[in-house]
Structure 1
Amino acid sequence: MVKQILTGLAILVAGFAVAQQKRPNILIIISDDHAFQTISAYGSKLTQTPAIDRIAKEGMLFNRAYVTNSICGPSRAVLLTGRYSHKNGFKDNVSGRFDSSQHTFIKDLTRSGYQTAWIGKWHLESAPQGFSYWKVLPGQGSYFNPDFIKMDNSRERINGYATTIIEDIAENWLDGRDTSKPFCLVIGHKATHRTWMPDIQDIGRFDTVNFPLPSNFYDQYQGRRAAAVQDMTVDKTMIMGYDLKMFPSKEAADKEGSIRRMTPEQRAAFDAYYGAIKQDLDRRGLTGKELVEWKYQRYMRDYLATAASLDRNIGRALDYLDRHKLTENTLVVYLSDQGFYMGEHGWFDKRFMYEESFRTPMVMRFPKMIQPGRVDSSLVMNLDLAPTMLELAGVKSTEKLQGQSLLPLLKESNYKGRKNLYYHYYENGEHAVSPHFGISNGRYKLIRFYKRVEGWELYDMQTDSSEMNNLYGKAGYEKISRKLKKELSGMIRRYEDQEALQIIEQPVFPAAF
């Protein structure tokens, strides 16, 4: 009898292990400030991104994926919690600190038997909780020879380039995992965050390319007061030394911690490359628009060279899944924490609800469910990933989430997508971007700015995709303005955004509509 009981228990345990193995694995790769305009799967001619393109080709590309708050830390907090910034408490990078004790989808997965890990950029100002394993960069982290915070809160410096090192650590964790259990791994890349520092092997990769100026590079911001007062232009804000490595001397470069931490070999290559560019710049004596456009070319070359390593290491992650026969049963998601300006409106950075920063690249692959080569134009948000991961894993959340599971969309079965998107940006400091919230239905976008600038903006994305012509208050747009205001008010109440609710009820000139 005892033998029979033990045999039965062994069968149960083995059956549980098999069931666990059949549960889907999840790999989320999140980058920083990676513009969809620079990804060839999205039609970019600026560069090629074969690894990201591979995910899209073998899975699906989301053509209208957006974020709730276009800034680094808050975007990650939304990803983890499936709740807007005003609900998870991390609204901005200045005063924000993520309360790691709160509910996250990771905690639900860990509780249900998943092995969970976050490796790389975290940027939430608190230690991760609820993960089986974590190893994260402090703050923004460094591109060269980065420090990592370990689970015992000690620090370790690893020589090399951050993007490659993060992938190395991720693969090492996968090598040591319990293969009888499913995993959820988040790889958080520092790339392509400012300041853009390419891997040594990628330096100069785009030096022979002359990038076309965006058509609105010399935008004068007529009718858009918030755009007019910002401080994020390539012309006036981009710093010759800090951003473009055009230092007046070696001593000046030494003051930058990101450079000072380089090995002698890295520093020699760095100095040789940027030193020659600086000598050429001094010889040419550029001023006015010639200098501005020179800065733009340098920005693009460094940014895209930094992104080259990102794509290469995403390719390594895909190859790892192939080698270990994990591809078929692993959902792979690639996205950025927000979009980024590549000279549109004369800008770099993000923050605004304008399309380039509001919209994020997002591609998914899951051979068991997603037909290859799909392109979807549903309105989706980073808010939706938490409920999607839980439903895919067959796990019920212990908390109410504000996102909407995309699983029916992935299955192509009765997906009722969003009619509208709600956005709220809070920070009132960096780059002088005025706080604002708004609504977009894909065609029209209505934005309410407050604090720094008080006012409304309305755009017709069908006729003005570059968002140059503010239609708010103009004849003929009264009806759509009223309609969107009513819908915006409804979304604010549904998402329980009390700050926005107080503001939207305040009159602001022009008072019409």
Structure 2
Amino acid sequence: MRLVASLFLCLFFSLQAADKPNILLILSDDQAWTDYSFMEHEQIKTPHLDKLASESVLFKRAYVPTALCRPSLMTFATGKYVHQHGITGNDPKGDSKNPNDPDLRESLISKVDQHDTLAKLLGEQGYLSHQSGKWWEGNYKRGGFTHGMTRGYPQKGGRHGDDGLKIGRTGNKPVTDFVDMAIEKKKPFFLWYAPFMPHTPHTPPNRILDKYKKYDLPLPVAKYYAMCEWFDEACGDLIQHLEDKGVRDNTLIVYVCDNGWIQHPEKANRYDQRSKQTAYEGGTRTPIFFSWPNKLKPQDRPELCTSLDIFPTIIAAAGARMPKNLPGLDLNSYMIEKKEIPRDHIFGEGFAHDIVDISDHEKTLLYRWVIKGNYKLLLTYDGKVSKYISTHPRTEKRPQLFDLSKDPAEHNNIAKDHPEKVAELAKMINDWYPVTKRKVITEFK
């Protein structure tokens, strides 16, 4: 009887693995939305991602709701806004530490325990999961992964990925070995593939860097461009492994970047203004695309997309338990049936790099923003900013309104000339969720 039951379970999980898609979530780290050849960059070459994008449902007008790595990654993992999941910055540097909870780093990490994560929900469906690259929330097991590379805090060096940060830069063997094991066990798998690339340090191999030196670029810019191509190579290597193993057709690949990056032309490994940590396009915009050969036909979609959509789309594709009241959309039916997505606006928010009070996220609120149609309104708040930040995210404090159809680089603030549009969009922001302790800066001086 036990033998029959065991055979039944093996058959059940084998059928389950065949029915459910494998999932690969590719997370770029610090890369501007313009910095791919499929996004028409004139110099950066990304042939592997170009090919993947051409096979995908591609959203070129897509965004992350916050432009800082740790909060953004937590949004990928939970499907929630920063003010909902509570990890607003990279590091806790509080001035109001609870005497009953002296370890601020552990207290911040513990917020991941309060939410359903992608890996946890997929695990309920029999998925094996692997974490590689950037991961801030302690050991990989804490995020619900069955396998992974990051030892995590409080282990030595366990801040934002430790051993996991080797992936891509030193090859993909830990991930490809995991894929081989999952295939052998006939299990569906989920890959959190988040190389520390093109993130600093910008140390591309000379064979790639030499290509960009020919353009007579400032060396810091040439190195960053070469990092983008090196990252593309790493992605191509992993995708080729899926092809070689015969599982590519039933693998849902999702691509997104955690936040933007505009390389400073003179300072190596530093970003320029209106870039990372800001609400400008250079900080928040990213291409997002979904490739699943068994289900999705290639499409170039004009609608707004947000990284909040990634979580429910993956969960629904896997047939997993869907948490209630998620702010993002399950895009599966819209992509499969090529239906128009019924949404004309998206929201975002930004907080300081350092968290002064992990129990009160408003203390470091810097900005909130909305895009409706072609208009984008950015409101700035008086939250506390650590001295750590080298490029101040509040270079302009008054309300900023841009018509992105005419001014995609956001050079011309038209707020003063369109007070009715500012009022309309500001009301949308205030109706989205209330801010009670921070003052919005409203002067048009």
Where in structure 2 are the equivalents of 1:127-142 lying within 5 Å?
128-129=141-142, 130-136=144-150
Aligned to 1:381: 306
Q: Which residue of 2 aligns with 1:175?
A: 180
Tell me how far apart the structure 1 counterparts of residues 247 and 76 of structure 2 sit (CA, whole Å): 24
| Most deviating of 321-330 and 340-349 | 340-349
AA partner of residue 301 (structure 2): D
Q: What is the aligned partner in structure 2 of residue 464 from structure 1?
A: 407
**Residue 121 (str. 1) matches residue 134 (str. 2):** yes
For 2:390, the equivalent position in structure 1 comes to none
Aligned to 2:63: 66
Deviations 1:109-153 (A, max 9, x none): 1112111111122134565421111112869xxxxxxx997xxx9
Secondary structure of residue in 1 paired with 2:120: helix
Q: For 1:210-249, what per-residue CA distance to the aligned partner results, in whole angstroms no more than 9, with x for missing partners?
A: 35xxxxxxxxxxxxxxxxxxxxxxxxxxxxxxxxxxxxxx
Question: Structure 2: which 5+ residue stretches go unaligned?
Answer: 93-104, 266-270, 356-363, 384-393
Deviations along 1:408-454, one digit per CA (max 9) or x if unpaired, are 22213545342211111010679xx9811111114111111111665
The 3 A distance-change label for structure 1 pair 126 and 86 is: farther
1:455 aligns with 2:381: no
1:490/1:348 CA distance change after superposition, 3 Å: closer
Partner of 1:105: 118
Partner of 1:509: 443
**One-letter code aligned to 2:113:** S
CA drift at 1:324: 0.4
- 1:436 maps to 367
Report the TM-score, using the length of structure 2 for normalisation: 0.81
Name the larger-Rg structure: 1
Is 1:326 paired with 2:323? no
What letter matches 2:443 in structure 1? F
State the number of aligned residues: 399
1:337-359, CA deviations, whole angstroms, 9 ceiling, x for partnerless residues?
11222469964741211112110
Contact 1:108–1:398 (CA under 8 A) maintained in structure 2 = no
Q: Are 2:87 and 1:87 equivalent residues in the alignment?
A: no
Deviations 1:28-56 (A, max 9, x none): 11110122211011111122101101111
Deviates more, 1:463-472 or 1:396-405: 396-405
Please report how far the alpha carbon of residue 200 of structure 1 lies from its aligned counterpart in structure 2 after TM superposition: 4.8
CA distance in 2, matches of 1:428, 1:167: 30
The amino acid across from 1:357 in the alignment is: G
The residue that corresponds to 1:362 in the other structure is 288
Equivalent position of 1:393 in the other structure: 318
Check whether the contact 2:274–2:280 (CA below 8 A) recurs between aligned residues: no
Q: Tell me the residue number matched to 1:423.
A: 348
Match for residue 48 of structure 2 among 43, 46, 51:
51
Identical pairs, percent? 24
TM, length-normalised to structure 1: 0.71
CA distance in structure 2 between the partners assigned to 1:166 and 1:63 by the alignment: 29
| Cα distance change on mapping 1:435 and 1:12 into 2, 3 Å | closer
| Candidates 303, 315, 318, aligned match of 2:224 | 303
**1:163 maps onto 2:168 in alignment:** yes
Counterparts of 2:238 and 2:382 in 1: how far apart (Å)?
Answer: 44
2:297 matches 1:409: no
Q: Counterparts of 1:81 and 1:395 in 2: how far apart (Å)?
A: 14
Shift of 1:478: 2.4
Residue 179 of structure 1, CA deviation:
3.4
- For 2:274 and 2:223, the matched residues in 1 are separated by 13
2:98 aligned partner: none
Contact 2:62 2:287 in 1 (8 A): yes
Q: Distance in 2 between matches of 1:349 and 1:193?
A: 13
The aligned counterpart of 2:428 is 487
Secondary structure at 2:376 match in 1: strand
Amino acid at match of 2:128: Q
Q: CA 1:398/1:484 → structure 2, altered by over 3 Å: closer, same or farther?
A: closer
Q: Structure 1 residues 434, 388: CA separation in 2 closer, same or farther (over 3 Å shift)? A: closer
**Could you give the per-residue CA deviations for residues 256-314 of structure 1, whole angstroms, max 9, x where no partner exists?**
xxxxxxxxxxxxxxxxxxxxxxxxxxxxxxxxxxxxxxxxx212110011222211111
Q: Is the 8 A contact 1:67 1:382 kept in 2?
A: yes
Task: Extract unaligned runs of 5+ from structure 1.
Answer: 140-146, 212-296, 493-497
Aligned-residue RMSD, C-alpha: 3.1
Following superposition, the deviation at residue 202 of structure 1 comes to 3.0
